[in-house]
Amino acid sequence: MKKIQLITVIAGLLFSLTASAEDKVTNRIESLPRDLEIQLALSALPPHLRDNATVYVLNPAKGFEVARKGTNGFHAFVARTGDDTFKGSWPLTEYRDDILYPISFDSAGVKAQMRVFFDAAEMQAKGTAPGDLKRLIQDRYKSGFYKAPERAGVSYMLSPVLRTYFNPEESDRVVTANFPHVMYYAPDVSGEDIGAGKLGGMDPFVILHGRHGYMIQALGLTERAAVNKEYEQMLARLCSIKDVWCLPKENWQLPKEKGQ
């Protein structure tokens, strides 16, 4: 009898470990409260564009869904697996549940850059393994499946909070930052081309180099303080959900030292 009980316990433990391993491969991101997700998505945009923008929410079982149809050509959402996930050669072994990536696109970006985010969310929802997803997206970039924007344009990321990969072309290190900024499409533009300053500074710099690269311009300190003030309550709600979504003290720019 004791032997049977022992075998049952061992079998249960093995099942638990197997289920845990499978969860890491196919786990789905937990939804944010709908009103909070919409507010966070719209915080990516400047005030004059928010009322008439199209807004999406993430359905972890399907991908992004329209929460409100807009009319001004701008689209906003909160990515939980960003396009930077697919940069670099580091292995993607699991889907993180702490990425928070409020972003918006104009009509040119919707046709080009935004598609990567939506494809990734849909495939993740279907249970695509993380490593397979990264390889597939990278192959699509290489093959030209994802086109560069057809014209100059802008992607606003003016939200007061951002948690994502610090330098995804080099490693999978993740940080939380207070870094509202504007991104301009910069296909095949290098930092040297624009005389880029230091990463995270006030001078423009380039990220995600290549056909889908961006030139980044940070908001000034005064403008950043105003954004933080406007969204104090939103930031408090996010902080109450996950500790890593709390803004680091004195974090007025992207961290330069080793972070979380």
Q: How many CB atoms lie within 10 A of CB 119?
A: 17
Q: Which pLDDT does position 43 carry in this prediction?
A: 98
Distance CA 46, CA 49 (A): 6
Q: Which pLDDT does position 44 carry in this prediction?
A: 98
Distance CA 119, CA 176 (A): 24
Q: Which pLDDT does position 256 carry in this prediction?
A: 40
Q: Which amino acid makes up residue 222?
A: T
Q: Which pLDDT does position 201 carry in this prediction?
A: 58
Q: Which pLDDT does position 190 carry in this prediction?
A: 82
Tokens linked to 33:
């409260």
Residues 217/194, Cβ–Cβ less than 8 Å: no
pTM: 0.83
Residues 74/158, Cβ–Cβ less than 8 Å: no
Distance CA 150, CA 223 (A): 30
Residue-level pLDDT, tens digit, the chain, 260 residues: 444 444 433 333 333 333 333 333 345 688 999 999 999 999 999 999 999 999 999 999 999 999 999 999 999 999 999 999 999 999 999 999 999 999 999 999 999 999 999 999 999 999 999 999 999 999 999 999 999 888 989 999 999 999 999 999 999 999 999 999 999 998 777 888 778 766 655 678 887 787 788 889 999 999 999 999 999 999 999 999 999 999 987 544 444 433 44
Tokens linked to 69:
């149809």
Q: Which pLDDT does position 14 carry in this prediction?
A: 33
Identify each DSSP E strand in the chain by its residue range: 54-59, 63-68, 75-79, 101-105, 154-157, 162-165, 174-177, 181-185, 205-207, 214-218
Tokens linked to 250:
């004195």
Residues 161/176, Cβ–Cβ less than 8 Å: yes
Q: Please give the DSSP secondary-structure letter assigned to residue 156.
A: E
Residues 259/175, Cβ–Cβ less than 8 Å: yes
Domain ranges of the chain: 2-179+223-245
Please report, for the chain, how many H helices and E strands are present, in that order: 8, 10
Instruction: Give the Cα-Cα-Cα angle 177, 37, 234 (nearest 5 degrees).
Output: 55
Which of 209, 188, 205, 185 shows the shortest CA–CA distance to 197?
A: 205
Residues 55/42, Cβ–Cβ less than 8 Å: yes
